[in-house]
Amino acid sequence: MQQARTTCPYCGVGCGVLAQVDDEQMIHVEGDAQHPANYGRLCVKGSALHETLGGHGRLTRPRVDGAEVDWDTALESVATRLAAIREAQGASAIGAYLSGQLLTEDYYVANKLFKGFVGTPHLDTNSRLCMASAVTAHKRAFGADAVPCCYEDLDEAELVVLVGSNLAWNHPVLYQRLKAAKTRNPLLRVVVVDPRVTDSCEIADLYLGLAPGSDGRLFTGLLARMADTGRLDRVYLDRHAAGLEEALAAAQEEDTTVEGIAADCDLDPERLETFYYWFTTQLHVVTLFSQGINQSSSGTDKGNAIINCHLAGGKIGLPGAGPFSITGQPNAMGGREVGGLANQLAAHMDYDTPGAIDRVTRFWTTPGLVPTLPEGPGHKAVALFEAIERGEVQAVWIMGTNPAVSLPDANRVRRALERCPLVIVSECAAATDLLPYADIVLPASGWSEKDGTVTNSERCISRQRGLLPPPGEARHDWWILIEVARRLGFGEAFAYAHPAEIFDEHACLSGFENDGSRLFDISALAGLDRAAYDALAPIQWPVTTDAPHGTARLFEAGRFATPDGRARLVPVRPRGPAQTLDPARPLRLNTGRVRDQWHTMTRTGRAPRLMNHRAEPFIEVHPDDAASYGIGDQQLARLVGAGGDYVGRVRLSRAQRRGELFVPIHWTDQFSGRARMGALLEPHADPLSGQPESKHGAVSLAPL
């Protein structure tokens, strides 16, 4: 029997896992006591990982036009058809849609192939649905997409604010850590800001059940109150941040009294006053924010409204202080590191980063082979599928994700894919809602089979290790990509024999001509041989010669990644949801995860005990609303939204506000007849980040 360390593939906490493998089977998992993300803890999903494995239900052979083929035929088909479309329509007729489930090494090769050598800018990722607004907010405030905090800050804080985050269900091990910190330190206060009463409220000293979408107003109001009550940290602002006057002027355009802000947010003024008092009088404050902030048509502004308050109070760069974006996916940050978003180029460089296109071109140039990088950003997720629908993008390669379920207006995505001349899907599961739209299907290896790295919410790079052989003919994503690259004539630039070589190149690029002006730098990890790469212990970036053991907390010296080293407060004028209610769709829809499931359940749906928590799609409804529609508890009901409908069993819940509903994101046509929440949503996106407004649908409700 072999015991090995690896990393959980689910949420952005990135827990270390000790896996026991016997006779090519994983027989047990437990938390890795040495991993700094979890110190031995696992949540119920993580502890069931070994129950989700096995060859049943897996894709095991490539398919072209519905027929099983060998790999050589499949790869030739991919290369030949992509080359033909590129020749006839140009490189920008090709797109790729990736996933936070990919490892950093897979992401690196995909980004290099599509942007560097195919020459298309249209490579985006489902991380767009998760944290793109936080990325944009970080860049505006700090000059770089960099999370200032680390998990230790939860242990050091005096006040932790959870906003748009049901930590107890979505990042359970971090919630357990916060709960333990509160037990150790009774003076630590927790505030939960959420339209729904969630399990995270169990440890809340104060709950603010605000109106959906009013969180931006909550924090612009807080900034105004900080000024009015003399709680701005003028010394910190003078030295380390610019833009206070403009941000404050914007905040003061609206009523700055507690009563006025409370009315706008539909809150009790006394509770709001308490929150503001606690925030303004404590220095060690962590504001943990997640999809409830990001999945909004004004998500970037909301992120900046939060960051503004931390900068204005000097509550950043200290133990137990800072705005802390918690990512949904295990490798949402790793994708950002290599340029996996359509607005990024590579290694945290954007197209408009001075000298970046030239620098990356020279770095990727191989003897006889010069990359042809695009000149500017490509289509972000929603726009990419709109371009497919218009026929501008003629080929799309989708890896490890299911936009036919998860993107807003998901039925329109299906129609776009039906019209697309070439749809290539790399996938682990044998049956998904996406596969019927694929012309070419490529069986990919999954967790426990893949070998590489992921980066969690606190910038910690961890190894996921390949412990089991992939089933049948499934192959690693990086291998599939380099084989296609070779057939497209780019083989010399993709001559990798092992993920360690890809990681080495990635680390080198992060430090290439980096004079310290680019924060993302892991160049001290370059040059690892296979044994050292395999033994790589968790480490937080930046990792440089000055910080060879990594960097737990950023901006401790008060110097940011802007040209003048000062952070920026950003003027924010709060906006409500773009999806408006009307008489035909009078109810506000909220969406999210449930505790024991992950995304479209292709893995967690295989473990019976995980299905016991919520066995079928449901609709949470306030009892008074249900009564007014003549619907009882456990009755089937139908929601109708802009682009489709959803059938689920009603769960009466006083955790819901009146006029608001909640549905889970997980169910697909594979698991239920008609419960894809993506079909209900209009495709509104934040104009700055491109992140869809998945938290704010408008629907009607009726008994079935």
Q: For residues 221 and 605, which CB has a smaller minimum distance to ligand SF4 in the complex?
A: 605
Contact assessment for residue 203 and residue 178, using Cβ atoms and an 8 Å cutoff:
yes
**Least spacing, CB of residue 307 vs ligand SF4, in Å:** 25
Q: Which of 131, 105, 666 is nearest to 381 (CA)?
A: 131
Which among 7-15, 95-103, 225-233, 516-524 is the span making contact with ligand SF4, rule CB under 6 A?
A: 7-15
Residue 16 interacts with ligand SF4 (CB under 6 A)? no
Residue 633, SS3 per DSSP: coil
Q: For residues 171 and 336, which CB has a smaller minimum distance to ligand SF4 in the complex?
A: 171
Q: How many CA atoms lie within 13 A of 330 on its CB side?
A: 23
Quote the distance between the C-alpha of residue 98 and its chain's center: 12
Residue 399 interacts with ligand SF4 (CB under 6 A)? no
**Least spacing, CB of residue 50 vs ligand SF4, in Å:** 13
Residue 622, SS3 per DSSP: coil
Residue 678 interacts with ligand SF4 (CB under 6 A)? no
Q: Which of 110, 100, 106, 80 is nearest to 422 (CA)?
A: 80
Residue 14 interacts with ligand SF4 (CB under 6 A)? yes
Q: For residues 597 and 689, which CB has a smaller minimum distance to ligand SF4 in the complex?
A: 597
> Around Cβ 594, how many Cβ atoms within 10 Å?
18
Among 173, 461, 554, 587, binds ligand SF4 (CB under 6 A): 173
CA atoms of 671 and 112, how far apart (whole Å): 36
Residue 520 in tokens = 């993302």
Among 29, 43, 118, 316, binds ligand SF4 (CB under 6 A): 43
Which among 36-44, 186-194, 489-497, 691-699 is the span making contact with ligand SF4, rule CB under 6 A?
A: 36-44
Which among 5-13, 134-142, 254-262, 418-426 is the span making contact with ligand SF4, rule CB under 6 A?
A: 5-13
Q: For residues 359 and 593, which CB has a smaller minimum distance to ligand SF4 in the complex?
A: 593
Residue 103 in tokens = 């490892």
Helix (H) or strand (E) holding 482: helix 477-487
The burial class, CB within 10 Å (0-12 / 13-18 / 19+), for 67 is exposed
Q: For residues 45 and 684, which CB has a smaller minimum distance to ligand SF4 in the complex?
A: 45
Q: For residues 568 and 603, which CB has a smaller minimum distance to ligand SF4 in the complex?
A: 603
Residue 45 interacts with ligand SF4 (CB under 6 A)? yes
DSSP letters along 220-241, please? HHHHHHHHHTT---HHHHHHHE
CA atoms of 396 and 480, how far apart (whole Å): 15
Q: For residues 17 and 543, which CB has a smaller minimum distance to ligand SF4 in the complex?
A: 17
Residue 15 interacts with ligand SF4 (CB under 6 A)? yes
**Least spacing, CB of residue 599 vs ligand SF4, in Å:** 11
Q: For residues 176 and 282, which CB has a smaller minimum distance to ligand SF4 in the complex?
A: 176
Exposure string of 339-368, with b = 16+ CB inside 10 Å and e = fewer, is bbbbbbbbbbbbbebeebbebbeebbeeee
Q: For residues 45 and 475, which CB has a smaller minimum distance to ligand SF4 in the complex?
A: 45
Residue 262, SS3 per DSSP: helix
Among 42, 53, 224, 467, binds ligand SF4 (CB under 6 A): 42
Please report, for residues 8, 89, 338, 484, the alpha-carbon distance to residue 394 in angstroms, rounded to integers and kept in the order given: 36, 8, 25, 18
Residue 466 interacts with ligand SF4 (CB under 6 A)? no
Q: For residues 135 and 460, which CB has a smaller minimum distance to ligand SF4 in the complex?
A: 460
How many H-runs (helices) and E-runs (strands) does the chain carry?
24, 28
**Least spacing, CB of residue 196 vs ligand SF4, in Å:** 20
**Least spacing, CB of residue 294 vs ligand SF4, in Å:** 18
Q: Which of 238, 315, 330 is nearest to 553 (CA)?
A: 315
**Least spacing, CB of residue 17 vs ligand SF4, in Å:** 7
Residue 169 in tokens = 């269900």
Please report, for residues 181, 224, 323, the alpha-carbon distance to residue 320 in angstroms, rounded to integers and kept in the order given: 12, 23, 10
User: What is the 3-class SS of 514-563, one letter each residue?
Assistant: CCCCCCCCCHHHCCCCHHHHHCCCCEECCCCCCCCCCCCCCCCCCCCCCC
User: What is the 3-class SS of 13-79, one letter each residue?
Assistant: CCCEEEEEEECCEEEEEEECCCCCCCCCCCCHHHHCHHHHCCCCCECCCCEECCEECCHHHHHHHHH
Q: Which of 398, 342, 405 is nearest to 374 (CA)?
A: 342
Among 148, 172, 213, 317, binds ligand SF4 (CB under 6 A): 172
Residue 171 interacts with ligand SF4 (CB under 6 A)? yes
Among 8, 388, 454, 567, binds ligand SF4 (CB under 6 A): 8
Among 6, 11, 85, 345, binds ligand SF4 (CB under 6 A): 11
DSSP letters along 404-439, please? HHHSSSHHHHHHHHHH-SEEEEEESBS--SSGGG-S
DSSP letters along 598-618, please? -TT-TTGGG-HHHHTTS-S-E
CA atoms of 629 and 641, how far apart (whole Å): 17
Letters for 281-320 (x = contact with ligand SF4 by CB under 6 A, - = none) are: ----------------------------------------
Site residue total, ligand SF4 (CB under 6 A): 14
Exposure string of 70-82, with b = 16+ CB inside 10 Å and e = fewer, is ebeebbbbbbebb
Residue 675 interacts with ligand SF4 (CB under 6 A)? no
CA atoms of 602 and 669, how far apart (whole Å): 12
Q: According to CB under 6 A, which residues from 479 to 518 bind ligand SF4? A: none
Q: For residues 292 and 313, which CB has a smaller minimum distance to ligand SF4 in the complex?
A: 292
Which among 42-50, 357-365, 563-571, 619-627 is the span making contact with ligand SF4, rule CB under 6 A?
A: 42-50
Which among 22-30, 38-46, 270-278, 696-704 is the span making contact with ligand SF4, rule CB under 6 A?
A: 38-46
Among 5, 6, 13, 466, binds ligand SF4 (CB under 6 A): 13
Q: In this structure, is the dihedral angle defined by the CA atoms of residues 348, 453, 325 and 244, taken in order, positive or negative?
A: negative
Q: For residues 294 and 457, which CB has a smaller minimum distance to ligand SF4 in the complex?
A: 457
Which among 169-177, 241-249, 341-349, 691-699 is the span making contact with ligand SF4, rule CB under 6 A?
A: 169-177
Q: For residues 11 and 223, which CB has a smaller minimum distance to ligand SF4 in the complex?
A: 11
Letters for 615-654 (x = contact with ligand SF4 by CB under 6 A, - = none) are: ----------------------------------------
Residue 46 interacts with ligand SF4 (CB under 6 A)? yes
Q: Closest CB to ligand SF4 belongs to which residue?
A: 46
Q: For residues 328 and 511, which CB has a smaller minimum distance to ligand SF4 in the complex?
A: 328
Residue 10 interacts with ligand SF4 (CB under 6 A)? yes
CA atoms of 177 and 196, how far apart (whole Å): 22
Residue 29 interacts with ligand SF4 (CB under 6 A)? no
Residue 35 interacts with ligand SF4 (CB under 6 A)? no
Letters for 247-276 (x = contact with ligand SF4 by CB under 6 A, - = none) are: ------------------------------
Which among 62-70, 168-176, 488-496, 659-667 is the span making contact with ligand SF4, rule CB under 6 A?
A: 168-176
Please report, for residues 30, 43, 464, the alpha-carbon distance to residue 17 in angstroms, rounded to integers and kept in the order given: 6, 11, 9
DSSP letters along 356-394, please? HHHHHHHHH-BTTB-----SS----HHHHHHHHHHTS--
Residues lying near ligand SF4 in the complex (CB under 6 A): 8, 10-11, 13-15, 38, 42-43, 45-46, 171-173
